[in-house]
Each structure stands twice: as C-alpha cells, then as structure tokens.
Structure 1
Amino acid sequence: MTPEAVIFDIGNVLIRWNPESFYDRTIGEARRRALFAAVDLHGMNDAIDAGALFRETIYDWADRHPDWAEEIRMWYHNWIDMASPRIEGSITLLRRLRAKGIPVFSLTNFGTHAFAYAQTQYEFLTEFDRGYVSGHMGVTKPAPRIYEMVEEDCGIAPDRLIFTDDRAENIAVAAARGWRTHLFDGPEGWACRLVAEGLLTKEEAAL
C-alpha cells in the first residue's frame, strides 16, 4: 500500500548541520575541541530545540562561560553558517513529491526563533504541507510523544507515513510506532526508497 504522506527531517537531510565544521574553519580545530570539551554547546542547542529562547539562551550560556563568551555567541550570530549548505537533491525530491500532490511534512528538532529565521534564508522551508517543529511542540525527537502528536494532528495511520531522518535513534522510535522509515545517508538512497514505495518514478526521482 502506497504511503499517504512523506515526512522529512531537516538537519542533515535538507540542510547540512555541522557546527564543529564551522568552528574548525573559524577558530581552528584545536581550539574548537577545547571549546566543546568545556561547554556543552549541543546541550544548549537541545534546550533551544525544546522551546527555550534562541538569542537569550545563547547569551546566557556565554555569560556563564566568560572564557568562551565570544565563541558561544557565534552560535547565534553565525548560526546560518552552521546550518548550511542546502542539500539540493533532497530539496528536488521534496518538490517532485508536492508537484504530484503527495503531502509532504517536516518533523524537525529546531528552535522556534531559529526556524523562523531559517525560513527567511531557505525558501523551501515554507513549502511543507504541514510543519512539525519541536520548539513549537515542546518536545524533541526521539521522545515517542512527538511522533504521537504528528499522528494526532495529521490523522494518517502510522503505516501510511514514511519518514526519513539521519539519526538512527529517531528512526527507531518512529519504526516502533509502525511508521515506514528510511535512515538518510544521501539523496540518492532516499530517491531509490521513494521509487520503491511507488511515490515517484525513476525519472521523477532523477535516477
């Protein structure tokens, strides 16, 4: 049975997300390693994804770690440099699906204000039929509740949803709920899966 809706993660599926790479380019790998050892920047970002304020949270962490204040504030001021580049092959697949009238949703761990800003930089982030953003929902992947909230909102049976994400733990929870899943490792593999599910032809998927 063909899926009724396709769900995309965003980070490392539609947009590269690698803060370490940004810091390596900006302050050098050795200093970046020291920074990440001293400050739990990913923990800070997890709080933002769960609904904490974007700028205020980052500036608070900078105040708490004065030795690294300038580097921590880069998370805010240079955020778009960390969330780049676009993954064009995935964006093409999103648009090919929508062109055929197939509903396409997002399900992403993303701060409310960061996502609103990202939408001004990446036009395709406004193109989803439904957007499920953790900052708005108050819960992050892989908590089972976020998947349950998607099901409740869209009204589609779990086995009629197909979801791609680059993190195995996020995929595992979705699969346990009965979703069809694909561990994203690049646009080509995802394109092949969409063809196998009968959602796109090889030509539409550019295979």
Structure 2
Amino acid sequence: MAIEHIVFDIGRVLVHWDHHAAYLDALPDEADRKRFFEEVDFPGWNLQQDAGRSWAEGEEVLAAQFPHREELIRLFRQNWHLTVPHAIGESVAIMRSLIARGYDVTLLTNWSADTYPIAQERYDFLAEPRGVTVSGQIRMVKPDPAIYAHHQKVFGLDPERTVFIDDSARNVEAAREAGWKAILFREPEELRRDLRKLGVTVD
C-alpha cells in the first residue's frame, strides 16, 4: 500500500541535540562528563521530564539524591538552549519536500513540556507539519506502545500507510510493532534512499 503519512522524530533527526553541550565549560573533560551522566543516571532522569515531570520537580528529586552534584544538576536546565544549537538542514529540506508533494507529515517526539515551547520559538519549521505529539504534554514516552496508538488516533493515521523516522532503534522497533513502517535515521542522504525504497517520492 502506498505511503500517505510520514511521522518524524525531532531530536537528532530534524534538530541537533547533544546533552554534553550543557557541560562543556563546567566539565571540559569528556571522561568527567560521562562519569557524571553515569553517576546520576542522566538518561533515565531526563526521560522522566520527557514523560511529563516538571523540570523543577526533576531537579529537586535528583539534587536530594546527589546533593554534592546539585550545582551540576541544575546547570543542565540553565544551559539547555546550548543542547539544541542548530537544525539538521538537509532533514528539514526533506520534510518540506514531502509536505510540498502532498504527504501528510506529523511529528512525534520525546520532549519535555517545559522546553518544547523554546524549540518552537527557535525553529519555526516545527509548525509546518500538520501537528505534533510531545511526550511531556501527554505523559507518555517512546517506545511505550501507548504513545504510538495515541498519535495514530489523534491524527487519523492508517498504520499500513504510515512510515516513522527516528534515530533510536528501540523507537523504530516499537513503531514496527505498532504496524507502521519505520526507518532508523542516520543521516539525510540515507533517509532519502530509504524513503524511495518505500515508494515515497522525495527531492
């Protein structure tokens, strides 16, 4: 069946994201940054904000667990703007090409409700697709099957005619389990090739 709906992830697909950037001044040594992230389970902690916990609560919880790291913990939100420094221009061009060709394009992202409005202000192309599901706003996160079901229902997607693009293998596999086709994003030119293999016309 021909693809009609194309769902993009945002971070590391349309917008560059690097959590290390928040700590380049405070922890200039990469090994020190990695030790800090591992000590506080940064990915797990950050995911809770993506799942709907406020940044204020998240900081309080982690600072109570690691009081000797409180300054660094609070630094992430202060420097969050540094973690999304630029768009991935070729990916944005692909997205715009698909919209121009009449494909139904939407966004599905793990992103905190507190910081997504900042991204919207900085990157106006996020308003160009038909709509977006932001995990922090609905309190669900990829790869939970519920968030795919939610997005499918809200936007009226036909799963057999839907392709999902994400940089996370877990999220891609979850989309496939939901009945969608899915592409693991690595770089824009490869994305073009993968879309064409699915019969999607892209510049």
Could you give the per-residue CA deviations for residues 39-78 of structure 1, whole angstroms, max 9, x where no partner exists? 1222221111011113442355335433222221221111
How far apart, in 2, do the equivalents of 1:17 and 1:66 lie? 27
Residue 32 (structure 1) aligned with residue 33 (structure 2): yes
Instruction: State how far apart, in whole Å, the 1-side matches of 2:105 and 2:56 are.
Output: 30
1:61-80 correspondence runs (5 A): 61-62=62-63, 64-80=65-81
TM-score, scaled to structure 1: 0.89
Partner in structure 2 of residue 8 of structure 1: 8
Q: How does 1:83-162 map to 2 (within 5 A)?
A: 83-162=84-163
Structure 1: gaps spanning 5 or more residues = none
| Distance (whole Å) between structure 2 residues aligned to residue 90 and residue 120 of structure 1 | 19
Asked whether the 8 Å contact 2:51–2:140 carries over to 1, the reply is yes
Aligned positions, number:
202
Can you list the C-alpha shifts for 1:120-168, whole angstroms capped at 9, x where unaligned? 1111122221201111221100011111111211222211100011111
Out of 22-31 and 76-85, give the one that drifted further.
22-31
**TM superposition score normalised by structure 2:** 0.90
Task: Confirm or deny: 8 A CA contact 1:54 1:114 kept in the other structure.
Answer: no
Residue 192 (structure 2) aligns with? 191
CA RMSD of aligned residues (A): 1.8
- Contact 1:44/1:58, CA 8 A, preserved across alignment: no
The alignment-based identity, stated in percent, is: 35
* 2:23–2:76 Cα contact (<8 Å) kept: no
User: What residue in structure 2 maps to residue 18 of structure 1?
Assistant: 18
Moved more, 57-66 or 45-54: 57-66
Within 5 Å, which residues of 2 pair with 1:174-185? 174-185=175-186
